[in-house]
Amino acid sequence: GHPAAKRAMERVLEKAADMGAAFGAVRNSNHFGIAGYYAMMALDRDMIGIASTNSVRYAAPTFGREILLGTNPLAFAIPAQHEPAFVLDFATTTVPRGKLDVYARKEKPLNPGWAIDANGHETLDPRVALNGALLPLGGYGTDNGGHKGYGLGLLVDILCGVLAGGAFGKDLAGPGDGPLPGTISHFFAAFKIAGFRDPEQFKADMDKELRAFKDSAKAPGHDRIYVAGEIEFEKTAYHRAHGIPVHVKVWDGLRKLAGELEIPFDFERSL
């Protein structure tokens, strides 16, 4: 997934540089990692980048219990001048599938609105949820906008799977299907800011836009407002300086795998 996705986005950026905007899709692929990575490839070229992918089926539609959609993330990256770029990268499910695994390892209950069991009832048990389905962004039903998350997830499946002529819906692998040939599809887009206005003026206005939110009145008990991507940029800088925390069970699993593959595992554990 990674090499094909990177090559596709590079091609989209080349086309957008000439034409002002370009779109591309990849089919018969695999997991491509972080959607935001490909959207952010547009930033240094003074472009707006978009990336999305369908995935292994993990989620049920609103009012349903059958898994028909993946976590189907959408990512947008928009450059600014002095502020960090606006990078919005989100799953169209309430949480990504990996969060259920993390909560199961930590033996923590899920939050309401994250998942349902195999019979379509909400559950807070991560192990039960792993045999059920994730819920669309917005949670159970329509009261908190679950139908909107369902619509976004389906939109991604259409742009990636249907438009690319790849697998979609029930044709995608499910979580219990085991290793299968690549059936995942991706969608990419790029817009040249200079096709609309002067890029430097645009980026200066982006600074103004982002600061308006960050400097706005804070709710009680809060002293800071973030914009999309800001927390991640700060965490990246911190962990590059201080290292990356890894849960002990993940650590033990990596060490065991390294032993099985007979490769060095020269890392220190602080706990």
- Tell me the C-alpha distance between 92 and 113, whole Å: 13
Q: Identify the pLDDT of residue 141.
A: 84
Is residue 24 helix, strand or coil? Answer: strand
Average pLDDT for residues 149-167, to the nearest whole number? 94
pLDDT per residue as tens digits for the range 46-60: 999 999 999 888 899
The two three-digit tokens of residue 13, written as one number = 């950026």
- Tell me the C-alpha distance between 136 and 131, whole Å: 16
Q: Identify the pLDDT of residue 179.
A: 56
How far is the CA of 242 from the CAs of 236, 237, 239, 254, 255, in angstroms? Answer: 10, 9, 5, 20, 21
| 237: Cβ contacts below 8 Å, ≥ 6 apart | none
What residue ranges define each of the domains in the chain, with the CATH number in brackets? Answer: 2-226 (3.30.1370.60), 229-271 (no CATH)
Average pLDDT for residues 250-261, to the nearest whole number? 88
Name the percent of the chain lying above pLDDT 70.
96
Question: What pTM does this model have?
Answer: 0.85
Average pLDDT for residues 14-36, to the nearest whole number? 93
Q: Identify the pLDDT of residue 177.
A: 66
Average pLDDT for residues 259-270, to the nearest whole number? 81
Residue 271 has pLDDT above 60, yes or no: no
With tokens 């909560």, the residue in question is 103
Distance of CA 37 to the CA centre of its chain: 10
Q: Identify the pLDDT of residue 152.
A: 95
Lowest mean pLDDT among 80-89, 228-237, 244-253: 244-253
Q: Identify the pLDDT of residue 82.
A: 95
Q: Identify the pLDDT of residue 171.
A: 84
Q: Identify the pLDDT of residue 176.
A: 65
Q: Identify the pLDDT of residue 181.
A: 62
Relative to beta strand 184-192, strand 47-53 is antiparallel
Is residue 69 helix, strand or coil? Answer: strand
